[in-house]
């Protein structure tokens, strides 16, 4: 099994930045695709950003140009650098690890005040 732990959430003002981390256990981290999702009450979970094992990335249109997803295979960690944050970015952010089975972390709360 893969254990997934997100961290780095918090309260920030509009225009500020946060860096989320997603640490995953296991010996095959470099082969996993990593994806960040977010969810608010009453809404379905939405994809925010993804990075493949080869390092290619894609983003939701709403965050393109503001967020950057990256990975450090030596640290078994993926990151989501969030810049120019807006109140509509407020959500619980979840990390999904795509191995043979998909694993999810517990989420980290991001709150952006106006």
> What pLDDT score was predicted for residue 69?
98
| pLDDT on residue 42 | 87
3-state secondary structure string across the chain: CCCEEEECCEEEECCCCEEEEEEECCCCHHHCEEEEEEECCCCCCEEEEEECCCCCEEECCCCCCCEEEEEEHHHCEEEEEECCCCHHHCEEEEEEEECCCEEECCCEEEEEEC
Confidence of residue 100 (pLDDT cuts 50, 70, 90): confident
Tens of pLDDT, residues 6-52: 999 999 999 999 999 999 999 999 999 999 999 998 899 999 999 99
Q: For residue range 41-90, list pLDDT tens digits in order.
A: 889 999 999 999 999 999 999 999 999 999 999 999 999 999 999 999 99
């Amino acid at each position: 099994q893969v254990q997934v732990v997100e961290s780095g959430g918090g309260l920030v003002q509009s225009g500020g930045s946060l860096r989320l981390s997603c640490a995953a256990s296991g010996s095959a981290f470099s082969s996993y695709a990593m994806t960040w999702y977010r969810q608010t009450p009453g809404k379905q979970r939405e994809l925010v950003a993804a990075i493949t094992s080869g390092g290619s990335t894609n983003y939701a249109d709403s965050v393109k140009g503001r967020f950057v997803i990256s990975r450090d295979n030596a640290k078994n960690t993926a990151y989501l650098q969030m810049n120019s944050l807006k109140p509509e970015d407020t959500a619980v952010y979840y990390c999904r690890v795509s191995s043979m089975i998909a694993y999810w972390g517990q989420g980290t709360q991001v709150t952006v005040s106006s």
